[in-house]
Structure formats: structure tokens, C-alpha cells
Amino acid sequence: MNFYKKNNAPYEEIFDHIADICNLMRFCFESDNLEEVIKAFNYLRSCEDMTSEIQLPMVLIRKRFSLSGFEYMCLMLALASALEGKGSPTFFEAAEHYPFFQNAEVFASLVENNTLKYLLDSEEGCGLSRHFQIKSIVLNFIIKKNISHNNIFFNTYIKKYPIIYKDLYQRILNFISANSVSCIFIEGKTGSGRRVLASQICKELGKNTVTVYSEDIENISEFSANLVGLCVMTESVPLVIADAEIKNAVKLINLITDFLPFVFICSSIKDTKISLKNRYLMYFKMGAIDESKRRCVWNYYLDFNESDIKILSSRYHLTAGQIAGVCRNCNLNADMKSLISEIMLLNSENSLSQIIHPMFRIDDLIVDEHIITVLNQIIKTAKNLSSFLAKYGFEELFPYGRGLGILFYGASGTGKTMSAYILASELGLDVMKVDLSRIEDKYIGETEKRISEIFEKAEENNCLLFFDEADSIFAKRTEISDSHDRHANGQTAHLLQKMEEYDGIVVLATNLNSNIDPAFKRRLHFTLEFFKPDAETRMTLWRRFIPDKMPHEDLDFKFLGETFELTPAEIKWAALSAAVQADGSPMTMGHIFSALKYEYEKSNLAIPKINYKNIQLQ
């Protein structure tokens, strides 16, 4: 990033000028002829007119910091000493050789304004005997080396990136123009586009931006001086990220009031209130980007047809940063399948849950007709609920909690999980399956934090939230006999609150309906019991779970359906086990009976004593 070269002047030419000026500076410092020194110093101060085609970095520094003659001389002495490898001068020596010496100017430079602290490192105190040297970032700026500093990062402006928060963009510009010294506090989640928005605003104002992470700052006084120096030299605006903590950010902003008319703080900490010295402060909130904004971001990165972009933007509620990450990881030339896989991988990084892309459709489900009817009613309700509320004036009666709560209960293997996946698939959603074993924590407040995280993640990703074996966390509250009971009941109350606030679909599945807390049941919109299938349904399941490609001989599906009272899951695994035993040869009833024996043993059930065409199962 070049901050001072004009008209593509070669850097060798710039450096030649720097070397000439440093030699002139050394002459001023060493000569005893006052008349010659004044002539040389006047020549030095006129260099910016002589080099109109080349913006000399030290001239830019002088202008941007409004350096006095004495301050400029100190800077040039420090530069000359650094380039020549000589010892550090003192402020007394600088004052002694300054041809236009005035006590007031020197006092102002070293005590009152102390602008030099942004350009020079010096010994502590305020006396003239202090040695000083040029700061490394200032030297690097002048000799065109890497001017980055530890924990200060230059932001690269993304050309032609869409302004997706147009209203917020204009409001912040208006605030900056109306207030001479200001701080813009942007509250928003990581990846929401906070830095991009700040960069776009600064670009409009002819500024660069640098990012600072408040938790990484150690010596804040020294760091603030380096930050101001770097920002003024490069005409940059600091963007302080305060996601982990806020105190350091406030201290830093209060220390950088000089030369920086406006600064940004970005934080994901909700409803933060801070107090600043000598700056007008305004809070701005960045909400989740809606479908139209997501479409703009997807279109920026991908050259896809409109229908695919619509699927990506409507189905996956990603942040702008997440969309950028997915596209980068897919090298910007991936197909839909690769992009969806990358999105699934991204979302699965949350250890409390797993996001699953469901493949089942309702036609794949073989259950009692009543279950199919209720599932279709749930799908119809979910698809039309929002428009129905708006069309008939029900919105005022349901100001929040417009989601659907659904309970599936019944024996294991009867289709509860598959039905949850079918609901999601028919509604164009992914399933967020919660890992209940990771939710509860022995430390007070941690379980509630994890519950909140799950609901927030489901909302961000537009998922159907699925709690399998839900009775382990949605169980009935107990009488309070100790602090553990009080803690557990508090967790249940928090879970109730999050369910009530959630606008999406929550499905609970349990084998033990009687264990579910009645308070949860009151918040459910649909309750559906899953029975073990009857004989006719079991016969259909046997036919479905033995594919046409699997060779078989004289399989009696009617007999299997009428004789063995199994769940769909048990039938599916028995069919697969029989196919493995057949090992490429045609599947027979003997293979199936052998597989059934294992299924009964696994479930600790009595094996029916059957003699089928001389094949015994016992």
C-alpha cells in the first residue's frame, strides 16, 4: 500500500531527495555559521515546493501533523541519525542548533502539545537532556518499508462490493459530517460486515482503515501513540474490534483524541453502553442480513443462475462473512453441491449440534395414514402461518413466538426422527440436531448459555431445531429441596423462554411422553403419537426395505408382516443384515430368519417359535 508516491515517480528518486535533505540536516546540525544554517534550513523548508511531482514522506508527515519548525527539525535529526547509524541526539542539541529558537515553541513541542510522542521514542520525563530516536513505523514509512505494526492490521478495500446496509451507511456518514470529533459504535455479530461497512464509509471520505483487536493490547499508552502515528501518516481511521472485552477499547479511544476526527468501535456484545471523553458517541446496530442482502453478496462472489442464487439466499441464513468464507473455500468456481457441502461443514463446527441436509420426502414414509395426515397439516401450517397472520389481522395477537412447537412420541424406531427430517425437507430447511449430552454443565449459567447459543445458531441458519430423546432436558420440574433442584428448574425456565421466543420450528422426540414437563406441552402446537405398524404396513415395509436390485428367492412378505411385530427401524436393519449374510447370492427366508433372531436378541425380546417350511426360528 503506497501512501505518498505521486505520478509513479521511481522510489530511487524519492530516496535521493531524502538523502540530500538528511545531508543538509546534518550540515545544519554541525555547522557553527548561523547565516549558512538559516539559509540551509530555509531551503529545507521549501523542499515541498521543489518536489511538486513527488510527495516526500517527511513533507507529508509535517503537513499531516502540523509540525512546528522545531518539531520538524527533531524529526529530520532523528531520521538522519537513523540512516547514518549515528548516536541519538538530545532535545537540547536540537534546540541549540535550531536557527529560529524560541523558548515558547520548544516548550509547546515537548510539554504542552507533545506531538513528537507520535513520531519519536524518547527517554521518560520532559527535560531537554533526553535522547530521542525516530519510531520504527515512522522510519519505515519514510523509506518505504513495511509500515505495519504489531496488532495493527491494514484493511484491504474490496472494490465494487455491494453496500448492503444502505440506510446505515448514509446515517453514519451524516453523523460524521455533523460532528467534528466522533466515535461510531457498531453493534453486530462477527462476520456481519462491520469492517466492510466501515471501510466503505472511509473510502467515501478518502480514508483508509486499520483494524485493532482490543484484547490484544498490552502497553496501551505506547500502543495508542503508535496507532495515532500510523493512522495520521497513512490517513487511516482506526477500527477497534471489541468482541472479547470492552474496557481496553474505551481506554484506547480516550487516548487517541488527537488528529483523528472519527473512530469506529465494533462489538458483538449486546446492549453495551460506554462513556468517552471529548468525543460525540453514536450507537448503530447491524441486524441479520435479510434474503435480499444475502442475494447481493452471493451474486458478488458467484456467477450462478438466479434460481440457484435464490435457493442459497433463502435457505441458508448466513452472514456476509460466512458467505465469503464458503465461496473462498470453494475457489469461487464450485457447483451447488460443493457449496452446500461447504455450508454443512461450516455449520457443523458448532459442537453442541449437527446440521443435516435432509433427503427424505413425505412419500418415503410408510406409517399409519393418520400420521401422514397430521404431517401434511403441519407442513401446510408452517408454509402459510406468516401470511395467514398478516392477512387476517392475527399479528397483534401473536407479537412474538410465531414459531411452531411439535412433539413426536412413541416407541423407538417408529419413524419420529425420519418424520422430523421430512418436515424440514418439505419446507426447504436443514435440520439442526441437538447433542443433548453436551448441553448440561455443572457450572451455574453455562447450561443456559449453551441453550441460548443453540437457538441463536438455529435462527441464523434457518434450521428446523430437533431435540431427540427430549425428555432428558424437557423433563418435569421437581420440588426444590436443594440448590441443585433450584439450578435445574432455572435451566428449564430458560428453555421455556427460548422456545416461546423462537420464530422457527422446534421438534421434540421422545419415547416417554409422560416425562415431558406440562409447561412445555402447553407451548406445543402439534402432538403426534407414533405407533408400531400394523401387519399390512409391516408387509409394505418389508417390500420397501429389500431393493429391486437385491436378488431373492420365494420371500413371503405377507408371512413376515403378519408374524413379526417389529418397528420400521428393526425391519430395515433386519433386511440389511439378511443381505449381508446372503453375500451376493439370492436372499432367502433363512437369511431373514437369521437376521430376525439377532434383532430380537438385541431388543431383549422373546423370539417367536416358528417352523416355516422346515426352517425353524427359536
| DSSP assignment string, 446-460 | HHHHHHHHHHHHHHH
Left, alpha or beta for 144 (phi > 0: left; psi -120 to 50: alpha)?
left
Cell of 107: 516548550
Instruction: Give pLDDT tens digits for 301-311.
Output: 888 889 999 98
**Do the strands 610-612 and 463-467 form a parallel or antiparallel pair, or are they unpaired?**
unpaired
Q: Cα–Cα–Cα angle for 290, 295, 301, nearest 5°?
A: 130
Cell of 241: 474490534
Please report the pLDDT score of residue 1 as a whole number. 47
Q: pTM to 2 decimals? A: 0.64
Q: From residue 531, give the alpha-carbon distance in Å to each of 173, 367, 411, 568.
A: 62, 9, 7, 10
Please report the pLDDT score of residue 2 as a whole number. 46
User: Domain spanning 535-617 has what CATH number?
Assistant: 1.10.8.60
Q: Is 265 helix (H, G, I), strand (E, B) or coil?
A: strand
Instruction: Give pLDDT tens digits for 381-419.
Output: 888 877 766 666 666 666 565 788 899 999 888 999 999
Pick the CATH number of 153-285 from 3.30.70.20, 1.20.1250.20, 3.40.50.10540, 3.40.50.300: 3.40.50.300
The count of other CB atoms within 10 Å of the CB of residue 390 is 10
Matching fold, domains 362-530 and 535-617: no
Please report the pLDDT score of residue 108 as a whole number. 61
Please report the pLDDT score of residue 11 as a whole number. 40
Nearest one of 472, 439, 469, 478 to 455, comparing CA atoms: 439
Domain ranges of the chain: 11-142, 153-285, 291-331, 362-530, 535-617
**C-beta separation of 373 from 433 below 8 A:** no
Please report the pLDDT score of residue 45 as a whole number. 61
Cell of 48: 515541498
Please report the pLDDT score of residue 210 as a whole number. 92
Query: Which CATH fold would you assign to the domain 362-530?
Result: Rossmann fold (3.40.50)
Residue ranges for the chain with pLDDT beneath 70: 1-55, 97-113, 125-126, 157, 332-333, 347-351, 388-401, 437-438, 440-445, 475-490, 613-618
Cell of 422: 421430512
